[in-house]
């Protein structure tokens, strides 16, 4: 029964162009080109843990000392007074979001009555206790610096890898001769490292700075991994490399702008934010939809026969575009506030769901790009 299901799922007619079989694109020494090997998709998972380890080492021995040299303090919020009853209540409801704690008036009232305190005192204690669990500015600075470093490396490496590839300069070469496109060692590494990074983001997202766009970013990472895996299995790695390259460049400036804000370099942050906005719109709303997606939707059917899986591929590309549109709206909101106030306030593309009450404590993410994450910071009242 399982064999029947697997055979039906991996049917040649579903995943490959007409008159093409899996055997035709299976790797082997007798083949004219080096085809992608689906078994290699396991490599990014252990490599993701290597990236997580590398990140921890860089943050501890490089980014944190650098941040401290800029005057960023590794201090947390004022500690709440010792109260075992309130601490027990907080631990039971620690997974509930801050606003929901205050909506539970019956619970707050019961605690106030039990401890002979006012409801306002209980709410203030819970707010202060929750602030203790928030990461310090230095932690968020290190996280942004790690993302900036990786995006800078990956974009530079991708540009180096693709510079002499014909499909970078003529996108029609992504489809001409498909599926008999060979994969070179440099493209192999570009794919594996990029996949590993998205796996590492998906894993570390559960203990990184919590953001309001947590689930948008989670969907973004899963969609990115699905796109990379799918394009690798179907030998569509050429168009996949172009998607990767177009996504990394703006994220470099995004993470640098966040890091500059945490370091209190406001003018530098404002300049980087302006550059980021231009680059984001040019790549995510320009190159990506009107060059890459246009080619997959319009040019590809002219150059090769369509097959069902190709429509799945296009659907995932359009899902990423939908996320880009949402994040662009949030970026423009930040841009508008920046113009009206004279400086950037709040976070760019992502923010912590547990952000501070002060406008001087910006929240940090990814996204989308990766990103990777565009939420406008609002002060709690």
What are the φ and ψ backbone dihedral angles of 345, each rounded to 5 degrees? -120, 140
pLDDT tens digit sequence for 165-187: 999 999 999 999 999 999 999 99
- Mean pLDDT is lowest, of 96-110, 131-145, 257-271, 300-314, for 96-110
Predicted pLDDT at 7? 76
Tell me: pLDDT of 52 over 60: yes
Predicted pLDDT at 113? 65
Tell me: pLDDT of 326 over 80: yes
- Mean pLDDT is lowest, of 38-47, 73-82, 205-214, 344-353, for 344-353
Average pLDDT over residues 307-332: 89
Entry pTM:
0.77
Tell me: pLDDT of 109 over 60: yes
Predicted pLDDT at 334? 84
Predicted pLDDT at 120? 75
Predicted pLDDT at 49? 95
Predicted pLDDT at 90? 63
Average pLDDT over residues 22-51: 92
232, 268 in Cβ contact below 8 A? no
Tell me: pLDDT of 22 over 80: yes
**Encoded tokens for 341:** 């106030």
Predicted pLDDT at 8? 81
Strand partners, 352: 211
The percentage of residues in the chain with a pLDDT greater than 90, rounded to a whole number, is 46
pLDDT tens digit sequence for 77-103: 566 566 666 666 666 665 444 444 444
């Amino acid at each position: 029964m399982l064999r029947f299901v697997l055979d039906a799922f991996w049917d040649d007619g579903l995943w490959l162009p007409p008159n093409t079989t899996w055997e035709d694109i299976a790797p082997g020494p007798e083949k004219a080109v080096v085809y992608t090997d689906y078994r290699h998709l396991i490599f990014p998972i252990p490599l993701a843990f290597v990236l997580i380890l590398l990140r921890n080492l860089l943050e501890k021995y490089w980014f944190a000392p650098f941040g401290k040299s800029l005057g960023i303090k590794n201090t947390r919020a004022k500690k709440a007074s010792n109260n075992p009853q309130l601490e027990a209540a907080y631990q039971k409801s620690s997974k509930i979001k801050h606003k929901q704690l205050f909506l539970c008036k019956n619970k707050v009232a019961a605690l106030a009555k039990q401890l002979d305190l006012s409801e306002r005192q209980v709410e203030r204690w819970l707010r202060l206790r929750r602030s203790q669990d928030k990461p310090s500015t230095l932690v968020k600075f290190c996280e942004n610096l790690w993302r900036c470093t990786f995006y800078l490396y990956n974009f530079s490496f991708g540009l180096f890898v693709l510079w002499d590839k014909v499909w970078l300069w003529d996108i029609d070469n992504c489809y001409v001769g498909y599926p008999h496109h060979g994969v070179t060692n440099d493209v192999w590494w570009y794919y594996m490292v990029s996949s590993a990074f998205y796996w590492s983001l998906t894993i570390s997202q559960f203990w990184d700075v919590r953001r309001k766009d947590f689930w948008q970013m989670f969907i973004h990472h899963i969609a990115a991994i699905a796109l990379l895996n799918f394009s690798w299995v179907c030998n569509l790695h050429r168009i996949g490399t172009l998607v990767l390259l177009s996504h990394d460049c703006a994220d470099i400036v995004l993470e640098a702008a966040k890091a500059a804000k945490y370091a209190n370099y406001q003018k530098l942050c404002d300049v980087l934010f302006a550059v980021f906005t231009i680059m984001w719109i040019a790549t995510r709303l320009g190159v990506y939809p009107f060059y890459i997606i246009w080619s997959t939707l319009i040019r590809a059917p002219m150059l090769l026969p369509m097959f069902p899986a190709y429509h799945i591929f296009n659907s995932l590309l359009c899902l990423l575009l939908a996320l880009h549109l949402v994040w662009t709206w949030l970026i423009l909101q930040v841009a508008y506030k920046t113009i009206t106030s004279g400086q950037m306030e709040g976070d760019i593309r992502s923010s912590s769901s547990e952000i501070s009450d002060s406008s001087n404590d910006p929240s940090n993410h990814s996204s989308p790009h990766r990103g990777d994450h565009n939420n406008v910071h609002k002060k709690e009242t």
